[in-house]
A and B are shown apart, each in its own frame.
Chain A
Amino acid sequence: MVVGTQSRYGRESASGPGPAVAVAPPHLDGEARRWVQRLRAGADGHEEAVRELHALLLKAARFEVGRQHARRPQFSPAERDDLAQQSADDALVAVLAKLDGFRGASRFETWAYKFALLEAGVAVRRHAWRGREVQLDPEAWGEVAARLQGPDDDAQMRELIAAVQHAIGAELSPRQREVLVAITLEDVPIDVLAERLETTRGALYKSLHDARAKLRGALALQGFEVGAR
């Protein structure tokens, strides 16, 4: 797993667990302070703290894999266990690397959980799409109107859909069209698309965000009220 500026974790510090000195930022409360101190490399109780942290992360990863499986059964028990274990392992590496980024804005456990939940969520989505082709058809945007139309549409809705179709063709770059259609119409998970395109969730979402802003701007110029739903 990549940890750093291109990671899925954002800009929190990735400076690693630091020197073998058991120090923690003075603003952390008692429990958080104990976690951070013990997780420093070379600190008293370091190995035990790492084991406790891994158990915490595994609990969260199992929770998320189980939650996703309950929603849409797709994994054998062995696959669920593998996904949870791998997610917990990856999250452990990330938490230790990001320890200096913990500012105590939440409980330490809550902060750590989010790494395991993210890893598990990404792992489940990627596993579910394993072997499935992600088609980025440069012409697929031409079918947007057909996908949105309904038999009972009134004139106003038909005009809006036609305007959306036109704006996609006129305002967006080919890449923005592909990303927009894949994520919003084809329901390709953004993490799956990011993996296939060798980019990050954040970079893809920025492309989607910019595309949406262009579409809303074009529609507003034509007098449509958008975004008020």
Chain B
Amino acid sequence: MSGPTREDRLERLLGSPGPELTCEECFEQLDRYVELELADAQADEHVPGMRAHLRGCPACAEDHEALHALLAATDAPAAERPEG
């Protein structure tokens, strides 16, 4: 497995501008966000700041990847709840 590139390192160091959720807010919204993703229901519009946080926080990104993979693997029906 190759390591991160220099560009990856710079992005990790500097993060990205703009608003982003905290880790606590990310956890609160994660289930809704992933169901919206799997329903192709504009998750980023419904949960602003989530994508930026997932780019900046490796641990929350792991949680997101895990929930997305689990729901996809279990073929769970995605929610039809555009608003939480």
Q: Which residues of A contact B (CB under 8 A)?
A: 8-12, 60, 63-64, 67, 72, 103-107, 109-111, 113-114, 117-118, 120-122, 125, 144, 147-148, 150, 160, 164, 180, 183-185, 189-191, 201-202, 205-206, 208-209, 212-213, 215-216, 219, 226-227, 229
Contacts and interface: CB of A to CB of B under 8 A. Distances in A.
Contact of B59 (A60, A67, A201, A219): A201
Contacts of B81: 104-106
Given A105-B81, A202-B24, A148 B10 contact: yes
B70 A227 contact: no
B58 A118 contact: no
The B contact surface, by secondary structure, is: helix
Among A8, A114, A213, which residue has the most Cβ atoms of chain B within 10 A?
A: A114
Contact of A185 (B9, B15, B17, B57): B9
Interface residues of B, number: 44
B50 interface: no
Nearest to A220: B17
Contact of A107 (B14, B15, B63, B79): B79
Contacts of B22: 10, 202, 205-206
A212 B56 contact: yes
Interface string B11-30: 11111111010111101111
Contacts of B30: 114
